[in-house]
Amino acid sequence: MRIVFIAILLLSLCSCANIGTGSDKNARVAQQFFQHYAKREDFVTFMSFYAEHAQLIDVVYGHHAQSKTEIRQFLDWQRGEFVLLKGDNILTVSKQTSQANTVITQGYFHRFSYNGETMGPWFFSITLEFDNNHKIIKQTDWINYTPRENFLGGKDVNSLIPVN
């Protein structure tokens, strides 16, 4: 009986170790993804995190990109005049949780100017789903866009973000 218990325990530990390894790798890839996103300097490397068949859903804005090509067009860092108003990073990650093939990241975008209009700061929650090669196959964005009148109306809870 004791040997059976030990065998079951060892099999359970091996099984958990395999699950954790993929999850840990996805968490590391997500951290690298957000480091590149925060710097907003190397769009080619940023796009390399996506699988060819990836999709991106911006729930609040109402956009659904259904391939890496469409994601590249939607996020195109060369489009428009972008100016970070303070600091070196466009975003700050405050929390990241991973399980199996999914990583959920929360944080906020810093204030910036886009085509002469001041935007942000914006809270965000972004879910990344990965394939077996640790490439993003689905990104779901929940971004609390402001100025609210340009997007949805309603209360601006982004005012809770600390301004540095």
Q: What is the pLDDT of residues 85-129, one digit of tens each?
A: 999 999 999 999 999 999 999 999 999 999 999 999 999 999 999
- Structural domains of the chain ordered from first start: 2-160 (3.10.450.50)
The yes-or-no verdict on residue 5 having pLDDT over 80 is no
Contacts of 131 (CB under 8 A, 6+ apart): 51, 101, 137
Q: What is the pLDDT of residue 147?
A: 67
The yes-or-no verdict on residue 49 having pLDDT over 60 is yes
SS3 call for 148? helix
Residue whose C-alpha is closest to residue 122's, from 135, 112, 131: 112
Amino acid sitting at position 127: T
The yes-or-no verdict on residue 155 having pLDDT over 80 is no
Percent of the chain, pLDDT > 90?
A: 69
Q: Could you read off the pLDDT of 56-78 as tens digits, one per residue? A: 999 888 888 999 999 999 999 99
80 with 115: CB under 8 angstroms?
Answer: yes
Query: pLDDT band for position 52 (50/70/90)?
Result: very high
Query: pLDDT band for position 41 (50/70/90)?
Result: very high
Does the global pTM surpass 0.75?
yes
Amino acid sitting at position 135: K
Query: Across residues 158-162, what is the average pLDDT?
Result: 65
CA angle (125 as vertex; 76, 27 as ends), nearest 5: 85
Q: What is the pLDDT of residue 26?
A: 96
Q: What is the pLDDT of residue 61?
A: 80
**Alpha-carbon torsion angle 28, 66, 39, 118, nearest 10:** -140
